[in-house]
Amino acid sequence: MPPNFESRQASQQSRTGTYAFMSHRVLLDQVLHKAIHDGESIFYTLVYLAITRSGPGGARRDIFPGESMSSKAVKRLQRISIVRAWCFEGDGLGVRKLRLFHQSDDFKRYVLPYMNPYFQEPLQKLFLDLWDILVPAFYQDARKVRQEFPIPVFKRRLKRR
């Protein structure tokens, strides 16, 4: 049984962590840090890697157009750059992440398709499983995160391969 963090208090009231991967609630409300915020941070870290990396080993994905690329390929690379910036950079990041939670199909429509193809087939269903646990857990039942996120989801996905 996972530990129950509901009654724990943060040792510091200030936010800590990497801005790009912080929970939307922590960015917007400066709420008391809970396990669900860690779940959201793990999720964003994995999404960032799937969008910005070329595969195992951590090499950066080439998102700059080459001279001989078709205009369709150039537009796709531009879109990847926009998705990366929209999801992980700049002022208003908490508001944009909140929008993804309230319009959760936007994540499926605008973020998932721009993962590196190396990661798409094996990880897209994993991301959908994690997203489908994370979004309702913020507004309905945070216990679902403690029970299902992320280890049991990873184990289920690995068994299905």
pLDDT digit string, tens, across residues 126-157: 888 888 878 877 776 656 555 666 667 667 76
What's the predicted TM-score (pTM) here?
0.75
pLDDT digit string, tens, across residues 39-65: 888 889 988 988 888 888 878 887 665
Contact 61, 52 (CB under 8 A): yes
DSSP state of 160: H
> Can you give 28-86 as a three-state secondary structure string?
HHCCCCCHHHHHHHHHHHHHHHHHHECCCCCCECCCCCCCCCCHHHHHHHHHHHHHHHH
Domain positions in the chain: 19-160
Helix axes 93-102, 117-139, angle to 10 degrees: 80
